[in-house]
Amino acid sequence: MTPQRGEVLQGTLDLIVLKTLDAMGPLHGYGIAQRIQQVSEDLLKLNQGTLYPALLRLEQRGWISSKWGVSDNNRKAKYYSLTRSGRKQLTSEAANWERMAAVIARLLAAEGV
């Protein structure tokens, strides 16, 4: 049975993008999409187009910045990188997420008994 591909949870896409940029350094939109799919081992169903409004939103908040550059295979592409406040945001978001995940795990464990 193939594992069911999950929808990206509302609000988690931001965290995912931030973490990806943190881990990989400056990347273009395509690269980010590839990386997310690679890491999630295709468990996440990501419509690559939905990435762009999220990128715009993050940029408007000042968490990432963008610059035009040239890709490995000589294509012009827009590269995104994490800003200082983006890194701070990532730390706090990640902590939040872990706390939340822990709470949910505990809840589920209690239920299971």
Partner 1 sequence: MKRLRVFASRLLGLFRKRRLDENLDAELRAHLQLLTDENIRRGMSPAEARHAAQREFGGVEQTKEACRDQRGVLLIDSLIQDLRFALRILSKSPAFTTVAILTLALGIGATTAVFSVVDRILFRSLPYSHDERLVAFGLTAPIEKEEFMLGASYIDFRKSPGPFEEVTSMMPGDAKCDITEESPVRLWCAHVEYTFLSTLAVQPVLGRNFTPEEDRPNGPRVAVISFALWKSRFGGDPGVLRKTISLDGKATRVVGVLPANFEMPTLTPTDMLVPEALDEEQQRRSAPGAVLRTFGRMKPGASVAEAIVGLQPFLEQSLQGAPAEFRKEIHLSVSTIRDRQVRDARLASWILLGSVFAVLLVACTNVASLQLARATGRQRELAVRAALGASRGRLVRQALVESTLLSLLGGAAGCWVAHLLLRLFVSIAPQGIPRLQQASVDLRVVGFTLAISMVSAMVFGLASALSNPSPGSLIGKEVRTTMRTVLRQTLVAAQIAVSLVLLACAGLLLRSLWNLQRAPTGMDTEKVVTATISLADYRYTGLPQQIAFFSQLQARLKALPGVTALAISDTLPPAGQMRSTILAAVEAEGHAPMAQGTGGSVAWRAVTPGYFSSLAIPILRGRSFDEQDSLPSENPIILSETLARELFGNEDPVGRRLRLFRQPAPWRIIVGVARDVRNNGMVASSDPEFYLPWKNDPVESLSTGQVILRTRMDPSVVAAWMRSESSALDPTLPIKSETMTERVGKLAERPRFNAMLLTLFACMGVALVAIGIYGVVAFLVAQQTREIGVRMALGASPRSVLRMVLWNVTRWAIAGAALGLLGAWFCTRLLQSLLFEVRVHDPMLLVFALVLLLGVTVLAAWIPARRAMRVDPMIALRYE
By CB under 8 A, residue 30 contacts partner 1: yes
- From residue 36 to residue 75, the character string flagging contacts with partner 1 as x (rule: CB under 8 A) and all else as - is -----------xxxx-xx--xx-xxxx--------x-x-x
Give whole-number Cα distances, 77 to 64, 72, 85, in Å.
16, 10, 24
By CB under 8 A, residue 96 contacts partner 1: no
Give whole-number Cα distances, 27 to 4, 48, 95, 96, in Å.
28, 14, 24, 25
What 3-state class would DSSP assign to 1?
coil
By CB under 8 A, residue 11 contacts partner 1: no
What 3-state class would DSSP assign to 4?
coil
By CB under 8 A, residue 22 contacts partner 1: no
Q: Which residues make up the interface to partner 1 (CB under 8 A)?
A: 28-30, 33-34, 47-50, 52-53, 56-57, 59-62, 71, 73, 75-78
